[in-house]
Chains A and B, each alone.
Chain A
């Protein structure tokens, strides 16, 4: 069955070649999988690794950091199955709260998507590009081959030792440790190229816009550049620890896009709307997690570039205000005030915007105005868990 499908794909691609307007020197040579559906370990070494991976998966299943929302999981699972087809039943999805751009797929079929990724992608096709890329690693056994390599086994043990915290001696993890843990799944450049290609292939077959693949990587490189340009010591992207970025990548992906191009301007599939509807409900949570990292340069960059900028203007202005208020340099409080004022014009602004407005006005000793917004906040959020503190602020008067 699979061979038949591959024949179809190859003929399809050859025909596509003939139909394209621009001349292309090389045809797209399809990638073939090294694992079959319903795959089980072949030998003792692999079985031993699966043993540890299965244990890690058990812990992940009930992790407090796992996002269990049915709608979100169903939506992402649908994308996975659309791309993975016959392999769909072998893949189990785990979405975790981790404010970094990253996705990982283990040889036993578990796929982990970090919330920072869901925050950053613009549309479903970009999400499909990353998932397709990870599926490429899985189908070519890249991770498995790397893990079997002796050097990485030691790291795997350390990584999978979930539940064993330090003696309480030193901080359990800096962000660097967090990133290093992800590097257990590090890939070589050759593997990266192959996964890129396979991802594109899967995307095309599933009728996604393959041009979006290049856009995802470009966006990540831009983010990284922008943050470093500000002479910031803010730590890098875990994805790049495992997927070395290269300028060539965009070029190569664009080439594939040329080779595979059938339609010049594909219509916007209706799935984009579903992407926004499904993922938008989580943007606040994801942005909160981002703010807690205390990486204001990166947060600022995200607030300027996220597609949610158009969809959720109230939320974006609110977080602009948060950044300014927290930075608190000369004039920032006044700028923050302006952002919050703008935020509350929009229906998507969180109730907290009223509270923060009260805070910045209080800091400027404009008590009456502050009190008015605090009262708004208490009215819109009757169950506010900081009610008693707000009431205390309301009792504060000029002395």
Chain B
């Protein structure tokens, strides 16, 4: 259904702008702020999964950054529908458990298989205790992808930023910029 909307949109070009340039100044999104690094385009809400703010450098088939938050107790990262089983966040979760709900969400969202687990470590978000982790997966398109996530649970709410890109060349291409952006995150 959404695809049909997109196609209709294309014919009424004046009524919609699929991508806008992300300005290189501190940007507030959904309760967190980030300083962009590098050149990114923001997807319009019509193109983003469940209106979650999403940026891309080369198109979302190749790379994207999604900004989730604030997710409150017993809320899901992706709401889904009657047919889906996305897991819920709970405010008493430890970072290891947040990894689990992200893996389960990604598995279901992309029909994916987790290929490899990356490191999980503490990460300071504006000097507050957060975490960072990664893994490799392949979705229904069979393209291996790398994922890097940075998050924090603050005031019983989860904020998490997910970067994912095609493993071959693309993941590394923007990694330095992405890491700079993740280091710049603060919770409003």
| Chain A residues proximal to chain B, CB less than 8 Å | 59, 63-65, 97-98, 162-178, 233-235, 288-289, 291-295, 326, 328, 355, 359, 362-363, 385-389, 392-393
Pair B103/A292 contact, Cβ less than 8 Å:
yes
* Given A63-B142, A167-B6, A175-B83, residue A362 in contact with residue B94 (CB < 8 A): yes
B157 interface contact, C-beta 8 A:
no
B160 interface contact, C-beta 8 A:
no
Per CB-CB distance, the 5 closest pairs between chain A and chain B, nearest first, are A168-B60, A388-B121, A173-B111, A386-B120, A64-B138
Specify the chain A residue showing the minimal Cβ separation from B131: A389
Pair B141/A392 contact, Cβ less than 8 Å:
no
A176 to B85, CA, bound (A): 11
Of B25-33, B74-82, B147-155, the one contacting chain A is B74-82
Pair B95/A389 contact, Cβ less than 8 Å:
yes
A54 to B84, CA, bound (A): 32
Which residues does chain B contribute within 8 Å of A97, judged by CB atoms? Answer: 113
Which residues does chain B contribute within 8 Å of A175, judged by CB atoms? Answer: 83-85, 108, 111
Pair A289/B122 contact, Cβ less than 8 Å:
no
Pair A169/B111 contact, Cβ less than 8 Å:
no
A235 to B81, CA, bound (A): 12
* Given A163-B141, A363-B92, A393-B94, residue A168 in contact with residue B61 (CB < 8 A): yes
Query: A234 is contacted by which of B85, B111, B114 (Cβ under 8 Å)?
Result: B85
Pair A293/B122 contact, Cβ less than 8 Å:
no
Which residues does chain A contribute within 8 Å of B53, judged by CB atoms? Answer: none
Chain B positions 101 through 115: 1 when the CB is less than 8 Å from some CB of chain A, otherwise 0: 001100111110111
A385 to B140, CA, bound (A): 27
Pair A389/B141 contact, Cβ less than 8 Å:
no
A120 to B22, CA, bound (A): 49
B96 interface contact, C-beta 8 A:
yes
Which residues does chain A contribute within 8 Å of B94, judged by CB atoms? Answer: 359, 362-363, 393
B139: min CB distance to chain A, Å? 6
Specify the chain A residue showing the minimal Cβ separation from B86: A294
Pair A162/B141 contact, Cβ less than 8 Å:
yes
B169 interface contact, C-beta 8 A:
no
A386: min CB distance to chain B, Å? 4
* Given A174-B81, A292-B104, A294-B85, residue A389 in contact with residue B113 (CB < 8 A): no
Query: A165 is contacted by which of B114, B133, B140 (Cβ under 8 Å)?
Result: B140
A97 to B105, CA, bound (A): 17
Which residues does chain A contribute within 8 Å of B61, judged by CB atoms? Answer: 165, 168
Cross-chain pairs A/B with CB under 8 angstroms, 20 sampled: A63-B142, A162-B141, A164-B141, A167-B3, A168-B60, A170-B3, A171-B108, A173-B139, A173-B140, A174-B83, A233-B82, A289-B107, A291-B104, A294-B104, A295-B85, A363-B92, A386-B133, A387-B119, A388-B120, A389-B120
Query: B142 is contacted by which of A64, A326, A392 (Cβ under 8 Å)?
Result: A64
Pair A65/B64 contact, Cβ less than 8 Å:
no
A166 to B140, CA, bound (A): 10
How many residue pairs at the A-B interface have CB separations less than 8 Å? 136
B102: min CB distance to chain A, Å? 10
Specify the chain A residue showing the minimal Cβ separation from B167: A64
Pair B121/A389 contact, Cβ less than 8 Å:
yes
A168 to B139, CA, bound (A): 12
A170 to B2, CA, bound (A): 7
A266: min CB distance to chain B, Å? 38
Query: A293 is contacted by which of B80, B104, B109 (Cβ under 8 Å)?
Result: B104
A17: min CB distance to chain B, Å? 49
A231: min CB distance to chain B, Å? 13
Specify the chain A residue showing the minimal Cβ separation from B118: A385
Q: Which of B151-182 contact A (CB under 8 A)?
A: none
B117 interface contact, C-beta 8 A:
yes
Specify the chain A residue showing the minimal Cβ separation from B64: A168
B128 interface contact, C-beta 8 A:
no
Pair A172/B113 contact, Cβ less than 8 Å:
no
A167 to B141, CA, bound (A): 12
Pair A165/B141 contact, Cβ less than 8 Å:
yes
Which residues does chain B contribute within 8 Å of A165, judged by CB atoms? Answer: 61, 139-141
Q: Which of B1-49 contact A (CB under 8 A)?
A: 2-3, 6, 43, 46-47, 49
Chain B positions 126 through 138: 1 when the CB is less than 8 Å from some CB of chain A, otherwise 0: 0000010100001
Which residues does chain A contribute within 8 Å of B78, judged by CB atoms? Answer: 171
A172 to B103, CA, bound (A): 16
B64: min CB distance to chain A, Å? 7
Specify the chain A residue showing the minimal Cβ separation from B90: A328
* Given A65-B138, A168-B60, A326-B100, residue A293 in contact with residue B85 (CB < 8 A): yes
* Given A169-B6, A293-B107, A385-B119, residue A176 in contact with residue B113 (CB < 8 A): no
* Given A294-B86, A385-B118, residue A172 in contact with residue B110 (CB < 8 A): yes
A65 to B141, CA, bound (A): 11
Query: A176 is contacted by which of B83, B97, B120 (Cβ under 8 Å)?
Result: B83
Pair B111/A392 contact, Cβ less than 8 Å:
no
Pair B3/A172 contact, Cβ less than 8 Å:
no
A123 to B53, CA, bound (A): 49
Most buried by A among B103, B111, B133: B111
* Given A168-B60, A292-B104, residue A388 in contact with residue B49 (CB < 8 A): no
A333 to B81, CA, bound (A): 28
